[in-house]
């Protein structure tokens, strides 16, 4: 952990940004997805574990940790006329927990999980009074008890961190976690179909929604959000329902 906590834990500070940039270089150098390694584990489990282990409790060294809820998630919660109090919410790939905590503050009953146990432990450490149920789990091996168990499944930046060949199965799994009438809220970076962007992360093309339909998820709303001062890249924010419910 850096010495000067006041300034250096501010994601906007130059110190924080410098540590993040250095970590990013180191992490890219060991990311199998950056090496075209044919033998690589498509889940990149070892890499995600390395991110949290190498960070040594410095959030600047976790490339996606901004220590606040994602603005598109937070504003979506604020837009729900009937609120989300009492909803059973599952946060997928929760990282350091800011999004999960945002749902919990709005009164939802939140379960949040991450592939990496160290991420879960860190989130619990950051929020000692939490009402969120945190646990370590792989979305591709989700506990059977979660099946059809959630009114809202939220994923922010986890699909875009997955190898493209894993996306159909990931979508099918997220669908299987929805209770009847449940919704999937997706927040991800966006790209045009015909532009390639090197990754990871891999911004999602519009065809992700056709794939979602094939996996039994019908989009109810797809927002294509342009770059703003707050959101520095184009994003999707989409709400999907189980096709059989419509
Ligand atoms: C890009 S980060 C986003 C974290 C968080 N959602 C956020 O917005 O800050 C992706 C997270 O998904 C987790 N993850 C990757 N593969 C996963 C899997 N198969 N199952 C569950 N979590 C996974 C990673 O460990 C990482 O914490």
pTM: 0.95
Task: Give domain status of residue 169, yes or no.
Answer: yes
Strand partners, 221: 239
Q: What is the pLDDT of residues 232-243, one digit of tens each?
A: 899 999 999 999
pLDDT at residue 6 in the model: 47
Residue 114 CA to ligand 1 centre (angstroms)? 6
Number of domains in the chain: 2
Task: Give domain status of residue 66, yes or no.
Answer: no
Residues 98 and 15 in one domain: no
pLDDT at 145 over 80: yes
Residues 131 and 31 in one domain: no
pLDDT at residue 3 in the model: 52
Residue 92 CA to ligand 1 centre (angstroms)? 7
- pLDDT, mean over the chain: 94
User: Which atom of ligand 1 lies closest to the CA of 114?
Assistant: 22
Cα(99)–Cα(82) distance, integer angstroms: 19
Q: What is the pLDDT of residues 178-226, one digit of tens each?
A: 999 999 999 999 999 999 878 889 999 999 999 999 999 999 999 999 9
pLDDT at residue 32 in the model: 83
Residue that is last in its domain, among 38, 61, 84: 61
Residue 232's closest CA among 70, 88, 103, 82?
70
| Spatial contact of 64 and 56, defined as CB atoms under 8 Å apart | no
What sign has the CA pseudo-torsion 3, 57, 73, 223?
A: positive
Look up residue 138 and give its two tokens. 């792989």
Task: Give domain status of residue 179, yes or no.
Answer: yes
pLDDT at residue 88 in the model: 98
Q: What is the pLDDT of residues 32-42, one digit of tens each?
A: 888 766 567 88
Residue 219 CA to ligand 1 centre (angstroms)? 22
Task: Give domain status of residue 78, yes or no.
Answer: yes
- Domain of 116 in residue numbering reads as 71-245
pLDDT at 2 over 60: no
Q: What is the pLDDT of residues 54-99, one digit of tens each?
A: 999 999 999 999 999 999 999 999 999 999 999 999 999 999 999 9
Residues 23 and 144 in one domain: no
pLDDT at residue 41 in the model: 84
- Is the backbone of residue 119 left (phi > 0), alpha (psi -120 to 50) or beta? alpha
Q: What is the pLDDT of residues 90-122, one digit of tens each?
A: 999 999 999 999 999 999 999 999 999 999 999
| Spatial contact of 172 and 204, defined as CB atoms under 8 Å apart | no
Instruction: Give the pLDDT band (50/70/90) at residue 124.
Output: very high
Strand partners, 88: 109
Look up residue 47 and give its two tokens. 């890499």
pLDDT at residue 39 in the model: 66
pLDDT at residue 236 in the model: 98
Look up residue 202 and give its two tokens. 């891999």
Residues in CB range of 45: below 8 A, 6 or more apart: 115, 138
Residues 148 and 120 in one domain: yes
Residues 138 and 201 in one domain: yes
Task: Give domain status of residue 12, yes or no.
Answer: yes
Residues 52 and 133 in one domain: no
- What is the residue with the minimal CA distance to atom 16 of ligand 1? 115
The reply to whether ligand 1 has any atom less than 6 angstroms from the CB of 140 is yes
Look up residue 198 and give its two tokens. 């090197």
pLDDT at residue 37 in the model: 63
Task: Give domain status of residue 173, yes or no.
Answer: yes
Q: What is the mean pLDDT of residues 13-25?
A: 95
pLDDT at 5 over 70: no
Residues 57 and 14 in one domain: yes
Identify the three-state secondary structure at position 33. helix
Q: What is the mean pLDDT of residues 145-154?
A: 98
Residues 80 and 46 in one domain: no
Residues 46 and 139 in one domain: no
Does residue 114 have a cis bond before it (omega within 30 degrees)?
Answer: no
Mutate which of 95, 165, 231 for ligand 1? The one with the most ligand atoms within 8 Å of its CB, which is: 95
Residues 26 and 145 in one domain: no
- What is the residue with the minimal CA distance to atom 24 of ligand 1? 93
CATH number of the domain at 232, please: 3.40.50.150
Residues 119 and 240 in one domain: yes
């Amino acid at each position: 952990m850096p010495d000067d906590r006041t300034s250096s834990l501010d994601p906007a500070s130059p110190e924080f940004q410098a540590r993040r940039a250095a970590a990013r270089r180191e992490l890219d150098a060991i990311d199998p997805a950056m090496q075209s390694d044919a033998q690589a584990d498509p889940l990149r489990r070892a890499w995600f574990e390395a991110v949290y282990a190498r960070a040594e409790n410095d959030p600047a060294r976790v490339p996606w940790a901004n220590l606040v809820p994602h603005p598109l998630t937070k504003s979506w919660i604020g837009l729900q006329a009937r609120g989300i109090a009492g909803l059973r919410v599952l946060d997928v790939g929760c990282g350091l927990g800011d999004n999960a905590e945002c749902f919990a503050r709005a009164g939802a009953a939140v379960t949040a999980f991450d592939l990496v146990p160290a991420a879960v432990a860190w989130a619990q450490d950051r929020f000692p009074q939490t009402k969120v149920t945190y646990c370590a789990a792989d979305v591709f091996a989700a506990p059977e008890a979660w099946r059809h168990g959630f009114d809202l499944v939220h994923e922010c930046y986890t699909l875009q961190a997955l190898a493209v060949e894993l996306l159909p199965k990931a979508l099918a799994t997220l669908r299987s976690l929805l209770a009847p009438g449940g919704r999937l809220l997706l927040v991800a970076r966006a790209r045009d179909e015909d532009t390639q962007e090197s990754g990871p992360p891999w911004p999602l093309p519009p065809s992700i929604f056709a794939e979602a339909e094939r996996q039994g998820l019908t989009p109810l709303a797809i927002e294509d959000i342009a770059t703003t001062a707050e959101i520095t890249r184009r994003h999707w924010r989409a709400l999907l329902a189980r096709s059989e419910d419509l």
